[in-house]
Amino acid sequence: RKDRQRKNNEVYQSIVKRISDRTQMINLPEASKDFTGRKKELDDLHEALKKDKKVVISGLGGIGKTALALKYGEQYLLQYQWIHWIAATSPEQITQGLLHLADDLALSKFEKIQERLAHLKVMLNRLPYEYLLIFDGIDREE
């Protein structure tokens, strides 16, 4: 019985993955193949995102914040309709990343960048499905 349940679960996961692969939009760098452990951090991050929708991974440079975010995106891929990664070490990079997202979502172009970003924000707030937007490298709150 357990073997049958396991096989049924494998078939189900395979079907979900095939459907998801055809309908998802993923803009995510590849996670490190050397990433191991940190199951508790991944589980905590997932629970925090289910609860709060906005989560910050913070800490000193080099402790693996980026690797954790990448692994989370890879591990919980099927939880989201789309995932978009934005390099965010400067305001200009953030703006370019958001404009790239607007292009990927086929949003209308506006004469002014700020108008397009405002339209993107409104659209994101209205989406009926789950998505993951990752800003990597923000050093300052402003």
Dihedrals φ, ψ of 57, to 5°? -100, 115
- Give residue-wise pLDDT tens across range 87-134: 988 989 999 999 998 888 888 888 899 999 999 998 888 887 788 888
pTM: 0.72
Q: What is the pLDDT of residue 95?
A: 94
Going through 20-124 in order, the beta strands assigned E by DSSP cover 25-27, 82-87
